[in-house]
């Protein structure tokens, strides 16, 4: 049975649903470093849909699996650039579109965070 709780750790604070005193369900973790994750948890693992804000101000909105970006998601960097596409094992993988802050758009396939081939639109 899930219930709502606040859990304190050496790394930060979790507020949300728990089962047997571990994050399970919807919740938010605030790291002392400034990172924040809002979304789905399964047995203390980020799993499902979520929003991740990094210390740098970069953000990710999308699917998570086993604490990593996995599936479809959008990454916004603090320089105004955006990557929208598929992720695997925390890296851009498969089809994606990269929007540069100068207005250029690259569309194509990624392999381990690098362009496999690309097309400037």
100 and 74 within one domain: yes
Q: Model confidence over 16-35: pLDDT tens digits? A: 999 999 999 999 999 999 99
Q: Model confidence over 57-97: pLDDT tens digits? A: 999 999 999 999 999 999 999 999 999 999 999 999 999 99
**Under 8 Å between Cβ of 86 and 92:** yes
Total structural domains within the chain: 2
Give CA 43 to chain center in angstroms.
Answer: 17
Domain region containing 60: 56-121
109 and 86 within one domain: yes
pTM, whole model, 2 decimals? 0.89
Nearest of 45, 38, 5 to residue 21 by alpha carbon: 5
110 and 89 within one domain: yes
The answer to whether residue 119 scores a pLDDT higher than 70 is no
32 and 85 within one domain: no
């Amino acid at each position: 049975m899930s219930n709502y709780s606040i859990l304190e750790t050496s790394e930060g604070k979790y507020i949300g649903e728990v089962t047997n005193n571990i994050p399970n369900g919807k919740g938010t973790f605030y790291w002392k470093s400034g990172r924040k994750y809002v979304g789905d948890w399964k047995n203390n693992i980020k799993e499902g849909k979520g929003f991740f804000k990094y210390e740098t101000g970069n953000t990710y909105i999308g699917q998570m699996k086993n604490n990593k970006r996995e599936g479809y998601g959008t990454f916004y960097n603090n320089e105004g650039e955006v990557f929208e596409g598929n992720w695997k094992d925390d890296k851009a993988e498969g089809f994606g579109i990269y929007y540069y802050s100068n207005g250029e758009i690259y569309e194509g396939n990624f392999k381990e965070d690098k362009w496999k081939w690309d097309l400037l639109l």
